[in-house]
Structures are given as structure tokens and as C-alpha cells.
Amino acid sequence: MTGYRSLFRTPEFTPLFLGAALQTAAQTVGGLALGTLVYRATGSPLLSAVSMFGPSLAQVLGATFLLSGADRLPPRTALTVIALAFGAGTALQALPGLPTGALFAIVLLLGLVASVGGGVRWGLLNELLAKGGYLPGRSLFNMMSGLMQIAGFATGGALLAALSPRACLLLAAALYLTAALVLRLGLSARPPRVTGRPSPAATWRTNALLWSDRPRRLTYLGLWLPNGLVVGCESLYVSYDSGAAGTLFACGALGMFAGDVTVGRLLPPAVRARLATPLLLLLAAPYLLFAAHPPLAVAVVCVTAASVGFGASLVQQERLMSLTPDELAGHALGLHSAGMLTLQGVSATLAGSVAQLTSPAAAMTVMATASVAVTLALATAARRPAAAAAPEAAGPAGPHEPAGPPEPAGPAGPAESADPPEPAEPASR
């Protein structure tokens, strides 16, 4: 496997990495500030959760109409413009007296802009790295994201104790603008990976092609659903304990970092390929304890342990890229990113609605239970076709020569499907 150190010797990897780090820091500080601002103004767990994860709701529109731009736009220009748009939008959210409705309009508009960003970034990463380099590269980006979230949420929590949420939003806007400068100066001008203009029709055609393959379809569902439901739990940290929200977010990022290091670097491929389902169960199970309203020390342990399960995403992404032609890598990764973030936004809204009717702790338990159920259902669906195909693949078996059992497969998709091209991506989580 390609070493982490060698990745930084790859031309353009470092500016892409630094630009992403600055954007992650901006997102964590700005998201926590906006969620706190809305919660102080409205006292609503639902509106607080949607303010932090609302951009994800617009991802479904981007995936439907704009995603063909992931492979049809010049990467440097697209990434720079997206960072500038987020800087301007975050600065607008800091305006005093801005109505809550206007805040949410900006949130959704930024989500629409971001819907193309995942495909552009991860498609470029796949293009920059040699064959076999995508998994360690993506693992390193995930580790960076975890560390920046730890620092961002911890710093954001400290800043919110000393400054106003609006001042923290202006700091986040400055970080976005710095990221735009790094990307513009550090990346070289590259042509789009696919010729032709981005259009809704091109987006629909490629989405239909990617979705038509059953193993790939199950992989997408495994990437989107269990993860999204658990992010619904995370969206309630502010309303669960507003004073400790920064700590809970930082511990979640620490667990995610540990999971990414373990899965992306320490585990051999043969072991890693079998861990999707166990990791997804780990992702949700600790949140079941929130039904008992645990003290903060126990809650911190639960959140940290659960977030190790986000390492399942690396296993599933590797599976997705093994099922996807290289020329569709950007679009496929963009569809993963947009679908994942959309489900996160939907889950945050659902979790906030349940919390509004019951309590944040009860809503976390409901979302975690749903995630466990979905993971088990997808694991069962993935094994079913493999079990049916096994006797045929083994040939007729005599009475004393039974066919062996099929390979187990988690939600990342069944173990069938062949001759895949080399891998390639997306984060948030």
C-alpha cells in the first residue's frame, strides 16, 4: 500500500489537502456557531439541527440536476469558486438582525453549491494519485477531517464562551477565503475529465447508469443510510447539552480519526473487506445508551466509541470504486457524497422533529435503533443473491460434496461482481 509520506511528494496533493483542511475547520467552527445562534434565538432543537446540517438537504437537488459538472468542470476553477461562495455565504449569515428565514435560505443555497464539490475534489484526488493510491489518500483526508473537527469544535466551543456566534461566523468566512486562495495558487489548470457541457440530462443519464447495477446500488445504500441516521444523533448534541456540545463533537471526531487510521492504514485488505457490517453496528449501538440519560463522562465514551464505526465508509468506498469505470469516478463519488449528505440532512431534520415531540435523548435512541435495523437489513440483502449463486458457481455437488457457503458481505454490497477497475472516493463522515 502507498505510504502516507509519499502522498505529499505527489504534485498538487499538498494544496488540495491544505485547502480541504481549511474548509473543514471553517465548516466546524461556522456550523457550531450557527447552530448555537439559532438555538439561542429560537430554543428549538429542530431548527438548531437543521441550521447545522441543512446544507445537506439541498444535496438531493444538486445530485439530480448539477452532478454531471463533477467530471465536466475544470477542477481548479470549480473548487476555488465553491470555497469563495461559502466564504461569502458564511459572512452573510453573520449580519446582525438577519431573519431566521434568510439564514436558512443561505444555508440551503450553500448546500446546492456544495453538491458538486465532493465529486470534483475526490475525482481530482483519484486523478492525482497513482493506481492503488486512492485508499491511503482518502484515508489521510479522513484523518485530517477528524483532527480538524477535533480542533475546530474544541476551538469553536472556547470561542463561543468568549465571543458571539456572529464573530465566530466571520472567522469561519475568513478560513473559507484562505482555502480559496490556497486552491487557486496551488493547483494547476487541468481540463475536465469528460467533454461536454454539464446538464440535467447528462446528470440523469449517468445517475441511472450507476444505479442500474445491483451491487453498486446496495453499496450506495450502505454508504448513505446507516451513516445518515447516526448523524441525526449528532445533530442533537446542542439541544442535548448545549454547554458540552463542543466536547461531544470533538470526541466524535477523535473516534472517527481512530477508525480511519485503523481501517485505512493498519488492517490488511482481506480483514478490512469483511468489516463493513461490524463497523456500522458499532457506529449506532453506543447511542442506544442515551435512553438512560448518561452523565457526560459516559456520553463522551459512547460518542468516541461509536464514531470509530465511521471507518466503514472507507471499506464501502473501496468497494464502490471497484465497481465503477474510471471515467465515471468523479460522478460516482459525487453521487455518494450528495446522497450521504442528503440523508444526513434528512436525518437531522427527522431527529430534531422527534426531539421536539419527546426529548433529545429519546430521539438519539430512535435514530440509533433505526440505523442498526437498516444495517442488518442491508447485510441480509447483500448475502441473498450470493447464496443463490453459490451452488451454480460450485457446479453440481454430490451427496458427500456440498457446495461451500458464500463469502459474507456487508452493506458495502455482495461479494460477487467481477473484474473491477482500480479504486478511487468522498466526508464529511
Per-residue pLDDT for 369 more than 90? yes
Query: Can you give the pLDDT at residue 399?
Result: 38
Mean pLDDT of 291-315: 93
Please enumerate in sequence order all residues whose Cβ is within 8 A of that of 14, keeping only pairs 6 or more positions apart, or say none: 8, 186
Query: Can you give the pLDDT at residue 175?
Result: 96
Per-residue pLDDT for 220 more than 80? yes
Per-residue pLDDT for 17 more than 90? yes
Q: For the chain, give the mean pLDDT.
A: 82
Query: Can you give the pLDDT at residue 429?
Result: 57
Q: In the Cβ-directed half-sphere of 272, how many Cα atoms lie within 13 Å?
A: 22
| Most confident by average pLDDT, 23-32, 300-309, 347-356, 379-388 | 300-309
Per-residue pLDDT for 150 more than 90? no
Query: Can you give the pLDDT at residue 57?
Result: 66
pTM of the model: 0.66
Per-residue pLDDT for 395 more than 60? no
Quick one: pLDDT band at residue 55, thresholds 50, 70, 90? Answer: low
Query: Can you give the pLDDT at residue 310?
Result: 92
Query: Can you give the pLDDT at residue 40?
Result: 86
Query: Can you give the pLDDT at residue 390?
Result: 45
Mean pLDDT of 28-52: 85
Per-residue pLDDT for 356 more than 80? yes
Per-residue pLDDT for 391 more than 50? no
Residue 429 corresponds to which cell in the numbers above? 463522515
Quick one: pLDDT band at residue 418, thresholds 50, 70, 90? Answer: very low
- 33: region left, alpha or beta (phi > 0 left; psi from -120 to 50 alpha): alpha
Query: Can you give the pLDDT at residue 75?
Result: 92
Quick one: pLDDT band at residue 269, thresholds 50, 70, 90? Answer: confident
Would you give the distance in Å from CA 176 to the centre of its chain?
A: 19
Per-residue pLDDT for 258 more than 70? yes
Give the lowest-confidence range in 22-26, 353-357, 396-400. Answer: 396-400
Whole-angstrom Cα distance, residue 381 to residue 401? Answer: 27
Query: Can you give the pLDDT at residue 402?
Result: 37
Give exposure, 64-84, as e/b (b: 16+ Cβ within 10 Å): ebbbbbbbbbebbbbbbbbbb
Query: Can you give the pLDDT at residue 286?
Result: 96
CA distances to 9, 16, 256, 315, 382 from 150, in Å: 26, 20, 10, 23, 35
Residue pair 203/64 in contact (Cβ under 8 Å)? The answer is yes
Residue 78 corresponds to which cell in the numbers above? 470549480
Give the lowest-confidence range in 206-210, 325-329, 367-371. Answer: 325-329
Per-residue pLDDT for 422 more than 50? no
Nearest to 6 by CA among 179, 124, 132, 122: 132
Query: Can you give the pLDDT at residue 1?
Result: 53
Mean pLDDT of 49-59: 70
